[in-house]
């Protein structure tokens, strides 16, 4: 049953690329136009670098495919497999892929400027400042939480430490070989992938576990957070060809191999769905509408993707006609990852034997009913369902339990790390554009902008504050994180608004952008209102203020959009 569902979804993605992706490219975005891309016009060897389509696809794919398309479906499986799969399929094909594709094309046409900067041209200069402020806060939160998540996985899965860090060294070597020695990238990247898998085995045999060595766990996590954010700062300043491109290309191979093994294991194990089609939430748990649609964000539609498309990818694209494969195709790839995560949570979980859950301790045999017995457990276990259920699929292929789970953990960490330094680079670009808009010259300096990009994120990740809900000390970033899902979808709605006005001004049909915007915007607003009610009931003043501010921002942006439509139609 689960294997049949996977085949149907993957078939739908293939048909969508051939038909709907072509329609968008030819009729809306005019992606066959022969123009000089920013990578050629502004080539600087650091950020603007013409890149082979396959290599750039790997960078873009792994930059958008962070931990969110894994964690979101794992949590959303609480409501059953039907709603989760339906939102992944429909959201990916008709919303997320169109959003990412459009942001990439618009940025290429506007000399690589971010979608936030394009807002000034399409809506107003006021809207650009609002958009940039919103993006800055969102990315600081993303950097903090991704760093904390990776640090936590390094502690809980010490077998993943060696392969993840070795990958950085290997990527530097690949970048040097390809761009300095003019070696074709495919063979070295495949060798690098083999080296990575060898060190996965080494990591299983020699785990780097500082907690087992007697170091306090809190200090270990803080140390990893500091290391990861310093690394992301350095990586964001290096030329994209030296680390970002080759590492992401290797990661794309890893993802394809990982997804291939997952679906092969699914076919071999051939499990039935261990979850019901739909499950009514328990008393006190959030209702499926609208929370499902902000829980699965990056696996359906995500505002962060528009920042990647217009932040780093548009500066490297060789030809405009490459945008369809990279923008639309990579989102279908992310939808496939969300599909694998969903199936691991609703089918693979029933294949798991003895294990230990983050929030429930040791169990003899796992099942969906046990894993998702409450909303608190569903949210607290996060990506564990993917690691355990996906590991069970890999065990069906013949891998040992420890090796299978390490491979799953490496998959999650590798893509979270990719999003981490891509987000740092994007934050540097946004700060530079912000400096130009407000005539604050120091912000246009890449080193100053990078410091400002990293330091607030480090504060959010390392500083602690009492959680208003539980009263326990918690990292500031984790306290603020509940607002991320709704704010991310709100960013997607703002991006769709900007794109619709941009292509409307070019006299193109914009209903493929307007309809998703009209669906996503009220859902994000309702989710924010639901969160606001929760925060008020809990007496959570910081999040109440933040949710209120976001609602005001939403109304302001809608007003700016209406004024822009009137200007364009008069």
**What does the alpha-carbon distance between residue 220 and residue 412 come to, in Å, rounded to a whole number?**
20
- The residue behind tokens 């962070």 is 66
Q: Whole-model pTM above 0.75?
A: yes
Residue with tokens 């010259």: 441
DSSP-derived pairing of the beta strands 464-466 and 473-475: antiparallel
Q: Provide the 3-class DSSP secondary structure of residue 356.
A: strand
pLDDT at 188: 86
Asked whether 523 and 91 are in contact (CB, 8 A), the reply is: no
Sign of CA dihedral 39, 41, 42, 45: positive
> 29 CB contacts (<8 Å, ≥6 apart)?
101, 102, 105, 323, 503, 508
- Is cis: bond before 224, omega within 30 of 0? no
Tens-digit pLDDT string for the chain (570 aa)? 888 999 999 999 999 999 999 999 999 999 999 999 999 999 998 899 999 998 899 889 988 887 788 888 999 999 999 999 999 999 999 999 999 999 999 999 999 999 988 998 899 888 888 888 888 888 998 899 889 888 988 988 898 899 988 888 988 998 898 888 888 888 888 888 888 889 988 988 899 999 889 899 989 999 999 999 999 999 999 998 888 888 888 888 888 888 899 999 999 988 899 999 999 988 888 889 989 999 998 889 999 999 999 989 999 999 999 999 999 999 999 999 999 999 999 998 888 876 666 666 676 678 888 888 888 888 777 778 888 888 889 989 988 888 887 888 787 788 788 888 889 999 999 999 889 888 899 999 999 999 999 999 999 999 887 766 666 777 888 877 778 888 899 999 999 999 999 999 999 999 999 999 999 999 999 998 988 888 888 777 878 888 888 888 889 989 999 999 998 887
pLDDT value for 468 = 65
pLDDT at residue 356 in the model:
65
Mark residue 111 as left, alpha or beta (left: phi above 0; alpha: psi -120 to 50; beta: remaining).
left
* Residue located via tokens 């910081």: 542
Asked if residue 312 lies in contact with residue 59, where contact means CB atoms within 8 angstroms, the answer is yes
407 vs 37, 96, 127, 297, 413, CA distance in Å?
38, 28, 44, 24, 10
CATH architecture designation of domain 2-96+113-569: Orthogonal Bundle (1.10)
Long-range contacts of 105-110 (CB under 8 A, 24+ apart): 105/29, 105/30, 105/31, 105/320, 105/323, 105/327, 106/310, 106/498, 106/499, 106/502, 106/503, 107/309, 107/310, 107/311, 107/313, 107/314, 108/35, 108/37, 108/38, 108/314, 108/317, 108/320, 108/323, 109/35
Picking from 146, 156, 159, the residue whose alpha carbon sits closest to that of residue 229 is: 146
Give pairs for 392-395: CB < 8 Å, separation 24+.
392/265, 392/269, 392/344, 392/348, 392/349, 392/351, 392/352, 393/261, 393/262, 393/263, 393/264, 393/265, 393/266, 393/269, 393/344, 393/348, 393/351, 394/261, 394/262, 394/265, 395/265, 395/351
Give CB contacts under 8 A, 24+ apart, made by 30-35: 30/105, 30/506, 30/508, 31/105, 31/320, 31/321, 31/323, 31/324, 32/320, 32/321, 33/320, 34/319, 34/320, 35/108, 35/109, 35/320
If DSSP codes are grouped into helix, strand and coil, which group holds residue 317? strand
Please state the domain extents for the chain: 2-96+113-569
Residue with tokens 């990586």: 235
Q: Determine the 3-state secondary structure of 59 from DSSP.
A: helix
* 3-state SS, residue 362: strand
Contact 250, 192 (CB under 8 A): yes
Q: How far apart are CA 90 and CA 522, in angstroms?
A: 17
On whether the CB atoms of residues 334 and 61 are closer than 8 A, the answer is yes
């Amino acid at each position: 049953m689960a294997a049949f569902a996977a085949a149907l979804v993957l078939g739908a993605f293939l048909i969508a690329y051939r038909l709907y992706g072509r329609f968008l490219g030819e009729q809306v975005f005019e992606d066959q136009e022969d123009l000089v891309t920013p990578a050629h016009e502004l080539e600087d060897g650091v950020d603007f670098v013409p890149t082979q389509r396959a290599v750039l696809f790997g960078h873009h794919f792994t930059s958008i495919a962070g931990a969110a398309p894994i964690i979101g479906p794992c949590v959303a499986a609480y409501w059953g497999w039907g709603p989760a799969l339906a939102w992944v399929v429909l959201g990916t094909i008709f919303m997320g892929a169109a959003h990412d594709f459009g942001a990439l094309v618009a940025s290429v046409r506007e000399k690589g400027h971010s979608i936030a900067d394009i807002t000034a041209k399409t809506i107003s200069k006021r809207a650009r400042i609002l958009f940039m402020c919103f993006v800055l806060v969102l990315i600081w939160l993303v950097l903090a939480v991704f760093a904390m998540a990776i640090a936590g996985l390094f502690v809980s899965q010490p077998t993943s430490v060696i392969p993840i860090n070795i990958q950085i060294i290997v990527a530097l070597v690949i970048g040097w070989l390809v761009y300095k020695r003019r070696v074709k990238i495919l063979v070295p990247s495949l060798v690098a992938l083999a080296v990575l898998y060898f060190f996965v085995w080494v990591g299983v045999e020699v785990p780097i576990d500082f907690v087992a060595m007697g170091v306090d766990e809190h200090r270990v996590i803080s140390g990893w957070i500091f290391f990861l954010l310093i690394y992301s700062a350095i990586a964001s300043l290096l030329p994209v060809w030296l680390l970002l491109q080759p590492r992401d290309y290797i990661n794309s191979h890893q993802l394809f191999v990982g997804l291939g093994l997952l679906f092969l294991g699914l076919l071999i194990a051939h499990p039935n769905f261990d979850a019901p089609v739909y499950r009514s939430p328990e008393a006190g748990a959030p209702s499926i509408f609208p929370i499902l649609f902000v829980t699965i964000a990056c696996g359906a539609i995500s505002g962060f993707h528009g920042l990647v498309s217009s932040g780093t990818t548009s500066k490297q694209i060789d030809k405009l006609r490459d945008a369809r494969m990279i923008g639309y195709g990579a989102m279908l790839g992310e939808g496939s990852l969300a599909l694998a995560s969903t199936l691991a949570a609703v089918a693979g979980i029933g294949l798991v034997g003895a294990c230990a859950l983050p929030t429930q301790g040791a169990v003899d045999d796992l099942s969906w009913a046990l894993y998702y017995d409450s909303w608190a457990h569903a949210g607290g276990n996060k990506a564990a369902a993917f690691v355990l259920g996906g590991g069970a699929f890999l065990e069906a292929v013949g891998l040992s339990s420890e090796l299978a789970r390490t491979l799953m953990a490496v998959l999650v960490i590798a893509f979270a790390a990719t999003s981490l330094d891509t987000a740092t680079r994007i934050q540097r670009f946004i700060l530079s554009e912000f400096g130009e808009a407000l005539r604050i010259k120091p912000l246009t300096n890449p080193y100053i902008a990078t410091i400002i990009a990293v330091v607030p994120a480090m504060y959010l990740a390392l500083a602690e504050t009492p959680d208003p809900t539980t009263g326990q000390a918690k990292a500031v970033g984790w306290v603020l994180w509940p607002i991320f899902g709704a704010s991310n979808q709100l960013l997607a709605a703002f991006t769709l608004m900007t794109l619709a006005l941009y292509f409307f001004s070019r006299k193109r049909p914009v209903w493929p952008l307007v309809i998703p915007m009209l669906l996503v915007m009220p859902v994000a607003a309702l989710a924010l209102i639901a969160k606001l009610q929760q925060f008020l009931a809990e007496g959570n003043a910081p999040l109440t203020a933040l949710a209120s501010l976001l609602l005001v921002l939403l109304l302001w942006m809608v007003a700016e959009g209406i004024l822009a439509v009137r200007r364009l139609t008069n």
